[in-house]
Amino acid sequence: MNRIYMFVAALVLSLAIAAPASAGCQNVTVGADISVIGMFQDNYDYNDNVSDGVSEIAVFSHIYIDNFYTEGVSTHIELALENPLVDANSVDLRVAEAYIKMEEFLTKELTVKIGKFTSKWQLRGDMWGAGTFENIYPYMVNQAFVLNGNTVGMAFMYDATEQVTLTFTWHKINETYGAPTNSSDLDLILVRVDYTIEANNKLFGAFLYFNDQAEVLNANVWMLNLGIDYFLMDEEALELYFELAYQAGDSHVAANDLGTMAINMGAEYTFSSIETVPYIGIDVTYFQGVDGTTYGYQNIVADWTKTLIVENNFMGPITNMTPGWLGVKLVGGMKNVMDEKIMLDFVFGWFKADGDLVPIGRGDGIGFEVDAVASYWYTEDVVFTLGFGYFVPDEDLAGFADPDAVWLAVFACTITF
């Protein structure tokens, strides 16, 4: 089966490169991203006396094929080699995206996407600080606090004015086939309004509805999501950001209900007049936990990373032991060392649970973490990144007295298309 996957991928690439322009096709673009990641982590049991160190090296890759046709029509196919290449034989190839895009559809202001695509928003763009975290793994180290959905569906984006964009999207997250559960699906419908205040200053509001006939969530969930990202002072030196998500819905269990929120907010100040461009900042993340019969906030299709160990969807969060938590991170670093060859990010984070840790009765302490990550741009396209994380768990999280620290080292070499 693995050889079949590789043959299909090679065939698609060959056809994309060799096929003559036809049926109005004006141009074909083929590209690929590759990330080689090595990682060592130790002491996730919080006990130095028990050997549980894990070392891994893996290759992740995405292959892109874009066809451009007449009248604003294009197609995009993205093949993902994800899960990942870890030795001479293993491979897992999947179609990450495959959609048709039509610009100026019926009217100049409307763009339509149909197929499998990613619907994701990140309030501050693709990076924070110097951007070293994103260089480790460009596909999963995101700041999608509420939504990063990669599903089949359709999207309509309407530019009402130069400042206002309206978006309506329908997603099929989970499809069920065959009687008697043919309608037991999970769908997402969302409406979003984006408003550009000026330059990079922006705000948005969104309504999301998860129709959960499959009962993979706690309820049919609706969410209200609001955010603002605003730069102050000359040369955009001070950035303030705030994002709120409120979650409610129709619970599948009559005795329980929903009514919780999540918040991500902070500030970042950049010393743009200094040659190395240092910065400092603070970031606060809050997920409301269980309160009696009220469910805690559910991270349904979020994908966000703020540290190397605790708040990290890629490495696996320790905070999966609690339905809610508070994280306060002090950040700093340098965005331009040696003519933009080197970039540095440092994080000090403190965390506590909101609601009981699992199992119940432990208290609410999680611990604190220190991270240091550096990126070196070998060329304009190739970047090497080295990161170290050190997490000191609280006794509440560990479940016993005097727990030992967790530490992690990660190395990455990445080229992006």
Q: Which token pair is 241? A: 């950001």
- Asked which of 212-226, 255-269, 324-338, 367-381 is least confident by mean pLDDT, the reply is 212-226
Containing structural domain, residue 157: 2-415
As a whole number of angstroms, the distance between CA 151 and CA 223 comes to: 19
- Strand partners for 344: 334, 374
Enumerate the β-bridge partners of residue 332: 280, 346
pLDDT for position 143? 85
User: Does 405 score more than 60 pLDDT?
Assistant: yes
Q: What is the mean pLDDT of residues 251-270?
A: 91
- What total number of domains does the chain contain? 1
3-state SS, residue 409: strand
Give, in degrees to the nearest 5, the angle at Cα 208 between 204 and 209.
170
Is the pLDDT reported for residue 222 higher than 50?
yes
| Confidence (pLDDT) at 14 | 53
CATH number at residue 244: 2.40.160.100
Give me the phi and psi of 25, to 5 degrees please.
Answer: -70, 125
Nearest to 335 by CA among 206, 235, 212: 235
CA angle 244, 212, 359 (to 5 degrees): 70
pLDDT tens column, 109-123: 999 999 999 888 888
pLDDT of 37 above 80: yes
pLDDT score, position 182: 57
HEC letters along 167-183: EEEEEEEECCCCCCCCC
